[in-house]
Amino acid sequence: MVIFLLFTIFFFYPICKIFISSVYDPETGKLSIAAFQKFFSRKYYTSTVWNSLKVTFLVTIFSVILGTALAYIMKTIKIKGKAILEIAIVVSVISPPFIGAYSWILLLGRSGIITKIINNIFGVTYNGIYGLAGILLVLTLKMFPLVYLYVNGALKNMDNSLNEAAENLGCKGINKIIKIVIPLISPTLLAASLLVFMRALADFGTPMLIGEGYRTLPVLIYSAFVGEMGGDTAFASAISVVIVVITAIIFLVQKYISNRKVIEMSALNQMEPKETKGICNVAAHIFSYVLVLLSILPQAVVIFTSFLKTNGRIFVEGFSMDSYKNAFSKMGSSIVNTYVFSMIALAIILVIGVLTAYVSVRKRNALSSVLDTTIMFPYIIPGSVLGIALMSAFNKGPIILSGTGMIIIVAYVIRRQPYTIRSSTAILRQINPSVEEAAQSLGASSFKTFLKISLPMMIPGVVSGALMSWMTIISELSASIILYVGTTRTMTISIYTEVIRANYGVAAALSTILFISTVIALVLFFKISGKKELEI
Partner 1 sequence: MSVSININHLVKRYGDNTVIPDLNLSIKHGEFFTLLGSSGCGKTTLLRMIAGFNTIEGGTISFNDRILNNISPDKRNIGMVFQNYAIFPHMTTAQNIAFGLKNRKIDRKEIDKRVLEMLKMVKIEDLKDRLPSKMSGGQQQRIALARAIVIKPDVLLMDEPLSNLDAKLRIEMRSAIKEIQNRFKITTVYVTHDQEEALAISDRIAIMKHGVIQQVGTPIEIYQRPTNLFVATFIGQSNVLEGRALRKHGYKGVILHDGTWIRVDGLKDEVEDGRDALMLVRPNEFSILEEGEEKAGVDGVVIESVFLGISMQYKVKLSNEIIINVMQQDLSKRAAQPGEVVRLLINPVYYNVFDKKTEYSLVNGVNEFE
Q: Which residues contact 238 (CB under 8 A, 6 or more apart)?
A: 22, 35, 36, 38, 39
CB 452 to partner 1: min, Å: 8
- Compare residues 444 and 521 and give the one whose CB is closer to partner 1: 444
Query: How far apart, in whole angstroms, are the C-alpha atoms of residue 495 and residue 99?
Result: 9
Binding mask 183-202 for partner 1 (x = CB under 8 A): --------------------
The strand pairing partners of 25, in sequence order, are 30
**Amino acid identity at 67:** G
Q: Does 164 bind partner 1 (CB under 8 A)?
A: no
Q: Does 363 bind partner 1 (CB under 8 A)?
A: no
Q: Which residues contact 208 (CB under 8 A, 6 or more apart)?
A: 98, 101, 219, 222, 496
Among 444, 463, 521, 528, binds partner 1 (CB under 8 A): 444
- Compare residues 262 and 442 and give the one whose CB is closer to partner 1: 442
- Compare residues 297 and 528 and give the one whose CB is closer to partner 1: 528
**Listed ranges 222-230, 282-290, 298-306, 434-442: which one lies at the site for partner 1 (CB under 8 A):** 434-442
CB 432 to partner 1: min, Å: 6
User: Nearest CA to 391 among 379, 378, 381, 400?
Assistant: 400
Q: Does 2 bind partner 1 (CB under 8 A)?
A: no
Q: Does 451 bind partner 1 (CB under 8 A)?
A: no
- Compare residues 320 and 440 and give the one whose CB is closer to partner 1: 440
Query: How far apart, in whole angstroms, are the C-alpha atoms of residue 376 and residue 415?
Result: 10
Query: How far apart, in whole angstroms, are the C-alpha atoms of residue 273 and residue 284?
Result: 12
> Do residues 224 and 239 touch, judged by C-beta distance below 8 A?
yes
Among 314, 445, 523, 533, binds partner 1 (CB under 8 A): 445
C-alpha distance from residue 332 to each of 472, 487, 512 (Å): 21, 11, 14
**Listed ranges 238-246, 398-406, 436-444, 483-491: which one lies at the site for partner 1 (CB under 8 A):** 436-444
Q: Does 87 bind partner 1 (CB under 8 A)?
A: no
Please tell me the count of residues contacting partner 1 according to CB under 8 A.
Answer: 16
- Compare residues 125 and 434 and give the one whose CB is closer to partner 1: 434
Q: Does 530 bind partner 1 (CB under 8 A)?
A: no
Contacts to partner 1 from residues 455-494, by CB under 8 A: 456-457
**Listed ranges 213-221, 402-410, 417-425, 431-439: which one lies at the site for partner 1 (CB under 8 A):** 431-439
CB 448 to partner 1: min, Å: 7
Strands 308-311 and 314-319, how do they pair?
Answer: antiparallel
Q: Does 365 bind partner 1 (CB under 8 A)?
A: no
C-alpha distance from residue 134 to each of 209, 211, 296 (Å): 10, 7, 16
Contacts to partner 1 from residues 59-78, by CB under 8 A: none
CB 366 to partner 1: min, Å: 16
CB 372 to partner 1: min, Å: 22
Query: How far apart, in whole angstroms, are the C-alpha atoms of residue 366 and residue 106?
Result: 54
User: Nearest CA to 53 among 234, 224, 193, 202?
Assistant: 202
Q: What is the DSSP letter of 25?
A: E
- Compare residues 373 and 441 and give the one whose CB is closer to partner 1: 441
Q: Phi-psi bin for 212: left (phi > 0), alpha (psi -120 to 50), beta?
A: left
Q: Does 432 bind partner 1 (CB under 8 A)?
A: yes
Q: Is the peptide bond preceding residue 398 cis, with omega within 30 degrees of 0?
A: yes
> Do residues 498 and 459 touch, judged by C-beta distance below 8 A?
no
Q: Does 440 bind partner 1 (CB under 8 A)?
A: yes
Query: How far apart, in whole angstroms, are the C-alpha atoms of residue 291 and residue 293?
Result: 5
> Do residues 472 and 518 touch, judged by C-beta distance below 8 A?
no
CB 355 to partner 1: min, Å: 20
**Listed ranges 263-271, 295-303, 433-441, 506-514: which one lies at the site for partner 1 (CB under 8 A):** 433-441
Q: 507 phi and psi, to 5 degrees?
A: -60, -45
Q: Does 366 bind partner 1 (CB under 8 A)?
A: no
Q: Does 125 bind partner 1 (CB under 8 A)?
A: no
Among 312, 366, 434, 530, binds partner 1 (CB under 8 A): 434
Q: What is the DSSP letter of 95?
A: S
Strands 314-319 and 30-31, how do they pair?
Answer: unpaired
CB 440 to partner 1: min, Å: 5
**Amino acid identity at 172:** K
Vertex 294: Cα angle to 384 and 190 (nearest 5): 55
- Compare residues 8 and 432 and give the one whose CB is closer to partner 1: 432
Among 28, 329, 373, 441, binds partner 1 (CB under 8 A): 441
**Listed ranges 303-311, 357-365, 385-393, 430-438: which one lies at the site for partner 1 (CB under 8 A):** 430-438
Q: Does 208 bind partner 1 (CB under 8 A)?
A: no
Among 170, 228, 442, 532, binds partner 1 (CB under 8 A): 442
Query: How far apart, in whole angstroms, are the C-alpha atoms of residue 26 and residue 382?
Result: 25
> Do residues 424 and 462 touch, judged by C-beta distance below 8 A?
yes
Q: Does 364 bind partner 1 (CB under 8 A)?
A: no
CB 442 to partner 1: min, Å: 3
User: Interface with partner 1 by CB under 8 A: which residues?
Assistant: 432, 434-435, 437-445, 448, 453, 456-457
